[in-house]
Amino acid sequence: MSATADRDAVSSVPGPGRRRRSVDVLVVGAGPAGLAAAERLAASGAGTVEVVDREEEAGGVPRHCFHTGFGVRDLHRPMSGPAYARHWRDLATGAGATLRTGVSVTGWAGHHGREDSPGGPGPLTVETTGPEGLESLSAGAVVLATGARERPRGARLVPGTRPAGVFTTGELQQAVHLHHQRIGVRAVVIGAEPVSYSAARTLRSAGVEIAAMVTEQPHHQSSWASGLGSRLRHRVPLLTGTTVTELLGRGRLTGVALRHDDGRTTTVGCDTVVFTGDWIPDHELARRGGIALDRGTRGPAVDTAFRTAAPGVFAVGNLLHAIEPAGTAAREGRLVAGPVLRYLTDGAWPGGQVPVEVDAPLRWVAPNRIDPRGPRPPLGRFTLRTARSADRLSFLVVSQDGRVLHRARLRRGAVPNRPLYASADWIDRADPGGGPVVISAG
Amino acid sequence: MTVTTSGTLPDEVYDVAVIGAGVVGTAIARELTRYRLRIALVEASDDVGDGTSKANTAILHTGFDAVPGSLESRLVREGQRRLAEYASRTGIPVEPLGALLVAWDEEQLAALPRLAEKAERNEYHATRIIGADELYSREPHLGPGALGALEVPGESIICPWTTTLAYATQAVRAGADLHLNCRVESVAGALGDETPHELTTGRGVLRTHALINAAGLYSDEIDRLLGRTDFTVTPRRGQLMVFDKFARDLVRHILLPVPTALGKGVLVAPTVYGNVMLGPTAEDLDDKAATGSTAEGLDFLREKGGRIMPELLDEEVTAVYAGLRAATEDDDYRIRSHPGRRYITVGGIRSTGLTASMAIAAHVVELLADSGRDLGAARELEPLRMPNIGEASPRPYERADLIAADPEYGRIVCHCERVSRGEIRDALASTVPPRSPEGLRRRTRARGGRCQGFYCGATVRALLAPEAPDTFSTSGTSGGGEPSLRPEVGP
């Protein structure tokens, strides 16, 4: 028997010293999506609602986003990330949800999270580790809200040495705002989307000069104010159509080599580089449970009621679409409460849904499963991303088996790394027994 | 127990000094501490195992494909037995997966019987040629077109970091002095009589009666400091890609290439940390510090990997790194004793050095004794148990007993690799503690996972060097930067 098989065998039986406990609903991840879900579920009588987070503090990514702008759309007042995180934490615990931080969900018990029990599959059960020990935690329903992370340098296959001074925005923000660590003197920011400008602000607040912002795209992908402010007020050069080809330096970073679309190459001296954006859902727990992922989003495939392919397992927030603003994640958290309550009551889970896919240059769509007779997605729209903005996209076409279901003009074009929406008006026209619905752009 | 990182060196004459604290140098130092000798282990870097030893393919070889009759063949065979036994006693992660040399064309298929016969001449008798059907049933995710394979069931994967660290820890606990940040710049003295060698280092002079050169890539340069020009080290770069843990279920064995006239291919192998490794490239270079990866190298690996196991490329890459093997013009190890000068060169230890390390150490001690040095009786070293950082046995986060005794083992800091605060604390308080985030990673896996620090990087650095808030940073409560009324896409 291989070591791997050994490990699997061990994890399917509660190990020695593993406590068993049950709740009605388990929420994994205490970011805006998870906390909002816990709040609404606890407030609407779902029973015992527990939200666990592996970090010591609840709040998810906003915890270390010290800039303001959170809460504008959903709470109608601007606040910092930590304040926004506290808001949702207080609402969730105030509504009666149990919040446990510093607790990691390490996997599922049994097959696809359901332990065998006499007479059929048992409840959904996960395994946790925390300072208080190991647990097998069972729940009637599980809501996954595990968020997303930025792809680090290695995953982007950027060649060169492996010096110190290489960050993602997430690590940079925690280093500066939570740990007050020294960052460096001069930085290059890879990316020019909203998060890249957040990274630039964090660098400036840490006294780091910004040598350049670099994007492969022909334009920056943030608001015009952000882009203009950065270039004029802070004199940060924006290098468009530019790729980072090598990291230089031993011990400490000394520079980055760049190549422009027209073939020119240059080296920018810097001791710090921040790889921003290029988000990927943190789908580890979903995948460990054998839950089908969507090919485009790389998050769990979900229908318009946040139901994954595994009965009883829901998913919300940036795990589904890396990434949307925190307010969108929180809205999904609130909206999942209804479907979860219905499932706890009737135990029904849909089968045979129609996949929704995209054609290049579109990269993904969420949600990505529909039931033509079922509910529409939140706000009556699908969220999409495109890969490029070189050729201006002017329309979207939704079709199924060659039949056009819907056609829409894109008034403002489509920019990579920025939300793009498609109306869901067409879903009742789709054939429940037909092939995948495909959204394409031109 | 002495580990020094700065300041002048002790004013004493050591019995033996070993230059280079890689897997070979630490193994030699460990073996020497079994005798009543004053041992110094001198290393240019700030950590043990920080050169070739940290960036290899992490395989415990059988030596089936060594040059029969060579010193390397004998020492790999003997070293494999010694290290496998030592690893199980010491808690060094090892997984005996076995290897399959996969033939992708007729030429490679035709080479398999010759390789099996070569294995016999290397006293390895367990190889077996298997057909395509058996191959695909044992490796269902293998790419199309494989014709058969040579099975070498004795090949294992091992943790190279824990191995070097275990040797160094035992040597230091048994009384060896480990001097880090101590590059040897020149060597004088010891021309026949009892005058000690005088090593001038970046930290001053170190005197020793006998000298052992285990300087790896720099072993030829140390040799030249003693007036020898027997060989030249040509660094051979190997770039490697480490794939996400989700790739682990794709591959069950170490998948080795069949060497042909057109060169060696690349391997696909699981790691003891639960990842999958693809590589290495083989590029002969001049620069002994050229440990960078290149776009060409990564393209080459992706192309090879896509052939061997197409699904591998669907998974995320966790890390890319490059190591340099100490190749020489010779096809064998270059281990030479110069008794008149009380000097032993341990050069040309190539990719098999990890496997052979304990046998090399025993061989070197024999050479030292043969040179007339009375070593006295050997003693047993205090047994050592290393922290487990492998996936084949339970890690601290999975152990209710450990967490009940000390809740710090239940406080996970590095989520991707599931490293607890307790393990980081233990590493920082260990006999040979880390001095950098990279050193901490090699001891605990902290920050070595798929997020590469997105979640834990700042916390891990804070644990490593708890320092006062820096003047560079502004207040952490109000945050910096201009206000924006626009909803932000975090972070």
CATH code of the domain in which B340 resides: 3.50.50.60
* Shortest CA distance from A327: residue in chain B: B487
Whether residues B431 and B356 fall in one domain: no
Of A67, A133, A325, the CB nearest to B400: A133
Do the Cβ atoms of A199 and A189 come closer than 8 Å? yes
Find how far residue A51's CA is from the centre of its chain. 18
pLDDT digits (tens, 9 = 90+) for A56-85: 999 999 999 998 889 988 889 999 999 999
- Same domain for B140 and B44: no
Q: Do B480 and A204 touch (CB under 8 A)?
A: yes
Q: What is the 3-state secondary structure (H, E, C) of B86-153?
A: HHHHHCCCEECCCEEEEECCHHHHHHHHHHHHHHHHCCCCCCEEEEHHHHHHHCCCCCCCCCEEEEEC
Query: Do B224 and B177 sit in the same domain of this protein?
Result: yes
Amino acid identity for residue B81 in this structure: R
Total residues found in chain A within this entry: 442
In Å, what is the CA distance from B51 to each residue of A49, B323, B330, B396? Answer: 51, 8, 21, 28
**pTM above 0.90?**
yes
Question: For residues A116 and B21, which has the higher predicted lDDT (pLDDT)?
Answer: B21
B424 min Cα distance to partner chain A (Å): 15
Last residue in a domain, options A232, A257, A277: A277
B465, closest residue in chain A (CA to CA): A181
Same-domain status, A194 and A250: yes
Provide the CATH number for the domain around residue B292. Answer: 3.30.9.10
Report the pLDDT value the prediction gives residue B319, as an integer from 0 to 100. Answer: 96
3-state secondary structure B338-351: EHHHCEEEEECCCC
Chain B neighbors of A225, CB-CB under 8 A: 484, 486
Whether B411 sits inside 8 A of A181 (CB atoms) is: no
A250 in contact with chain B, both atoms CB, cutoff 8 A: yes
| Dihedrals phi, psi of B406, to nearest 5 degrees | -155, 100
Q: Do B259 and B224 lie in a common domain? A: no
B47 within some domain: yes
pLDDT score, position B485? 35
Whether B121 and B16 map to the same domain: the answer is no
Considering the domain architecture, whether residues A271 and A292 belong to the same structural domain is answered as no
**B357: enclosing H helix or E strand:** helix B353-370
Question: For residue B164, how many C-alpha atoms fall within 13 Å in the half-sphere facing its CB?
Answer: 26
> By percentage, how much of chain B surpasses pLDDT 90?
87
Mutate to test the interface with A, among B181, B452, B463 (most CBs of A within 10 A): B452
Q: Do A297 and A360 belong to one domain? A: no
Q: Which residues of chain A are within 8 Å of residue B397 when distances are taken between CB atoms? A: 104, 106, 129
Nearest CA in chain A to B395: A7
Which of B457, B484, B489 is facing A195, going by the closest CB pair? B489
> What residues 182-221 of chain A have any CB closer than 8 A to a CB of chain B?
182-183, 193-195, 198, 201-202, 204-208
CB contact under 8 A, B252 and A2: yes
Q: Count how many pairs of residues, chain A against chain B, have C-beta atoms within 8 Å.
A: 241
Interchain contact, B479 vs A323, CB within 8 Å: no
Residue B193: its pLDDT value, please? Answer: 66
* Sequence-ordered list of residues with C-beta below 8 angstroms from that of B195, at least 6 positions apart, any chain: B189
Q: What is the C-alpha to C-alpha distance for residues A99 and A360, in angstroms, rounded to an integer?
A: 41
Q: Is the ipTM of this complex over 0.90?
A: yes
Please tell me whether residues A183 and A164 are part of one structural domain: yes
Structural domain containing residue A172: 152-277
| Catalytic residue annotation of B | 61
pLDDT at A9 over 50: no
Q: Burial of B425 by CB count in 10 Å (0-12 exposed, 13-18 middle, 19+ buried)?
A: middle
Shared domain for B239 and B142, answered yes or no, is yes
Query: Is residue B283 exposed (0-12), middle (13-18) or buried (19+ Cβ within 10 Å)?
Result: middle
| Residue of chain B whose Cα is closest to the Cα of A10 | B394
Q: In this structure, what DSSP letter does residue A300 have?
A: B
Provide the CB-side half-sphere exposure for B448 (13 A, CA): 22
Indicate whether B486 belongs to any domain: no
Interatomic CA distance for residues B214 and B335, integer angstroms: 10
Q: Categorize the per-residue pLDDT at B351 as very low, low, confident or very high, splitting at 50, 70 and 90.
A: confident
Which CATH number belongs to the domain containing residue A273 in this structure? 3.50.50.60
* Chain A environment of B488 (Cβ under 8 Å): 65, 67, 69-70, 194-195, 198, 325-326
- Shared domain for A358 and A425, answered yes or no, is yes
Question: What percentage of chain A exceeds 70 in pLDDT?
Answer: 93
Statement to judge: residues B225 and B241 lie in one domain: no
Pairwise CB contact (< 8 Å): A204 & B411: no
B412 close to B419: Cβ distance less than 8 angstroms: yes
For residue range A79-103, what is the model confidence (pLDDT) as tens digits?
Answer: 999 999 999 999 999 999 999 999 9
Distance between CA atoms of residues A194 and A417, nearest Å: 9
CB burial of residue A48 (10 Å; 0-12, 13-18, 19+): middle
A141/A165 same-domain check: no
Instruction: Evaluate whether residue B484 is within a structural domain.
Output: no
B259 — pLDDT class (breaks 50, 70, 90): confident
Residues A359, A307 share a domain: no
For A369, the enclosing helix (H) or strand (E) is: strand A369-370
Residues in chain A with CB shorter than 8 Å from the CB of B474 are 205-207
| A133 and A8 assigned to the same domain | yes
Which residue in chain B has the smallest CA separation from A65? B491
Contact A205 B479 (CB under 8 A): yes
Do residue B345 and residue B319 come from a single domain? Answer: no
Over residues A171-185, mean pLDDT: 97
Cβ separation of B292 and A159 shorter than 8 Å?
A: yes
Per-residue confidence at A414, pLDDT binned at 50, 70, 90? confident
Tokens 């492998």 locate to B390
For A171, the closest of B411, B454, B476 (CB atoms) is B454
Residue B318's nearest CA partner among B226, B182, B454, B476 is B454
Task: Count Cβ atoms within 10 A of the Cβ of residue A232 and give its class: 0-12 exposed, 13-18 middle, 19 or more buried.
Answer: exposed
From residue A408, give the alpha-carbon distance in Å to each of A191, A366, A427, B475: 30, 17, 14, 48
Range with the lowest mean pLDDT among A354-368, A400-414, B2-16, B52-66? A400-414
User: Same domain for A361 and A432?
Assistant: yes
Residue B63 inside a domain? The answer is no
Would you say residue A6 has pLDDT above 50?
Answer: no
**Do B251 and B317 have their domain in common?**
yes
The pLDDT, as a whole number, for residue A117 is: 62
The answer to whether residues A321 and A407 belong to one domain is no
Are B190 and B317 members of one domain? no
How far is residue B307 from each of residues B106, B264, B302, measured CA to CA in Å?
Answer: 16, 15, 9
- Partner-chain residue, chosen from A18, A132, A167, that has the shortest CB–CB distance to B410: A132
**Chain A residues 216-235 with a CB less than 8 Å from chain B:** 223, 225-226, 229
In the Cβ-directed half-sphere of A354, how many Cα atoms lie within 13 Å? Answer: 21
How many domains in chain B? Answer: 3
Question: Cα–Cα distance between B82 and A95 in angstroms, integer?
Answer: 62
**Is the Cα dihedral B371, B372, B378, B382 positive or negative?**
negative
The rounded radius of gyration (Å) of the Cα atoms in chain B is 24
Q: Which residues of A touch B276 (CB under 8 A)?
A: none
Q: Please state the rounded mean pLDDT for residues A387-409.
A: 86
Question: Are B300 and B313 found together in one domain?
Answer: yes
φ and ψ at residue A8, rounded to 5 degrees: -60, -40
- Name the residue range of residue B303's domain: 99-153+234-327
Please, what sign has the CA dihedral across residues A351, A353, A357, A363?
Answer: negative
> What is the count of structural domains for chain A?
3
Mark yes or no for CB contact A54/B412 under 8 Å.
Answer: yes
Of A66, A149, A246, the CB nearest to B455: A149
Is residue B260 domain-shared with residue B321, that is, in the same domain?
yes
The DSSP secondary-structure symbol of A416 reads: T
Q: Which residues contact B13 (CB under 8 A, 6 or more apart)?
A: B38, B196, B207, B208, B209
Q: Are residues A413 and A284 in the same domain?
A: no
* The pLDDT value given to residue A388: 72
Residue A4 has pLDDT above 50, yes or no: no
- Among B473, B476, B472, B470, which Cα is nearest to A80's? B476
Q: Map residue A32 onto helix, strand or coil.
A: helix
Segment B414-468, tens digit of pLDDT: 999 999 999 999 999 999 999 999 999 999 999 999 999 999 999 999 999 875 4
Suggest the residue from B300, B399, B451, B454 to mutate for an interface test with chain A (most A CBs closer than 10 A): B454
pLDDT at A390 over 60: no
Residue written as token pair 């030829």:
B220
Which chain B residues are Cβ-neighbours of A167 within 8 angstroms?
453, 457
How much is the average pLDDT of B119-124? 96
d(CA A253, CA A49): 47
d(CA B192, CA A239): 65
Both A125 and A15 in one domain: the answer is yes
